[in-house]
Amino acid sequence: MAGAQDKTEKPTEKKLRDARERGQIARSRELTGVSVLLVGGSVLYLSHGLMLEHFRLLLTEVWVSGFRLAHSSSTPGTMLLSALFHFFVMVSPTLLSILIIGLGINLVQTKGLLISWEAIQFKFSRLNPLEGFKQLFSLRSLVEVVKSILKVVIVGWVVYGIFREEHHLFLPMVDQELSEVLKVLGHLSLKMLLRVSLIMFALSIADYYYQAWQHRKDLMMSKQEIKEEYKQSDGNPEIKSRIRSIQRALARQRMMAKVPKATAIVVNPTHYAVALQYAPKMEAPRVVAKGVDLVAQRIIRLGRRHGVPVIQNPPLARALYKEVKLEGKIPISLYRAVAKVLAYVYQQKQPRVK
C-alpha cells in the first residue's frame, strides 16, 4: 500500500466523482452559519416594525377578544386562526430568508443538489477509539481549534469595541421609556451583528478555500493507484493487447480459409497479395483475403497449393489492398482492371482446341 508521501498525483475525475457520491465534498460549515446569521439578523432588524405591530394585534386577539368570546359570534377556531396568522406574519420573513440563504449557500458549495445515502449509513469503524485518537491530534483538529479560538476573540473584540464607542448611550437609558431602551438595544445589537458577521464572513471564505485544498489533499493519489484505477476502468493493457492479438490471429485464420475458394490472386509480386472471388450470381467481385509481405507470401503459397491462379499486376494489387476492405466489393473505378484479370483467368481455364 502506498504511503502518504507517495501520493503526489492529483485525483482523477473518477476519484472525485466517487468521493462526491460518498458525500465527501469541499464544504465550509462556517460559511453557511455566518451567511444565515448575517441575512437572518438583517431581516429580523428590518422587519422589527412589522413584528411589533402584529405582536400587538396578537395580544389584542388573544386577550381582548378572548374575554369577549362568550358575548360575541366568534368561535374559538376563528380566534385561533387569526392568532396563527399574526404569528406567521411575524416569523415568516426571518424564517424564509434563513431557509433560502441556507439552501443557496449549500447548493453553491456542493455545486448542485447532492444526496448521499452512504454518508448517513452507520459504520462500526466510526466508533473505533484509535481512529478518533488519531483525528484528535491531526492537522484538521488543530485548525478547528484555532478557528474556535479566533471566533471567541473576534466576538469579544467586537463587543468591547462597540461598548467603548457607545458607552455614552447606557447611562441615559435609566430615565428613558421602554420603547426608547429597545431602540437603543436594537441599534447596538444590529451594529454588533453586522460587524461580527462581516468579519466572520471574510474568514469563512478563507475557510472554504482551506476546505477545498484539504479535500484535494485527502484525495491525492499515488502513481500505482492511478494505474490500478486505469486497469479497473479500461482493463489491463497487457490482457487487452493479448485479446487483440488472439482476435487478429482468428481473423487471419478465417481469411486464409477462404483463399482456396478464390477465383484469382493479384500480386505485386510478393509485397502485396489480394485474393478475389467471383461467381455469376454476384453483383461484383469481392476481396476475400489480402495482406502484405509475410501474409502476402502465405496467401500466394496457399493459393498455388490449391490451384488458384496468381496474376502479377502491381498497380492493381496496391489499389485493391488500399481501397477495398476485407469482404468488400470491388468499386466501379476498378471494374475494368479486375474484369481483364478475370477474363484472362477464365481464358486460361478453357480447354485449348487442337
| pLDDT by residue, tens only, the chain of 354 residues | 444 457 777 877 777 777 777 767 777 778 888 888 888 888 887 887 788 787 777 777 666 665 555 455 555 566 677 778 878 888 888 889 889 988 888 888 777 666 655 555 555 555 555 555 555 556 667 777 887 888 888 888 888 888 888 877 777 777 777 777 777 787 787 788 888 888 888 888 888 888 888 888 888 888 887 777 776 666 566 667 777 888 888 888 888 888 888 888 899 877 899 999 888 888 889 898 998 888 889 988 998 888 888 888 888 888 888 888 888 888 888 888 888 888 888 887 766 544
β-pair type (310-312, 264-267): parallel
Find the radius of gyration of the CA atoms of the chain.
Answer: 43
Per-residue cell: 231: 486497469
Where do the domains of the chain lie?
Answer: 25-218, 258-349
Question: 23: phi > 0 → left, psi -120 to 50 → alpha, else beta; which?
Answer: left
Residue 342 near residue 299, CB atoms below 8 Å = no
3.40.710.10, 3.50.50.60, 3.30.460.80, 3.40.1690.10: CATH of 258-349: 3.40.1690.10
Alpha carbon of residue 67 to chain centroid: 63
**Main-chain phi, psi angles of 260, to 5 degrees:** -60, -25
Counting beta carbons within 10 angstroms of the beta carbon of residue 89, is it exposed (0 to 12), middle (13 to 18) or buried (19 or more)?
middle
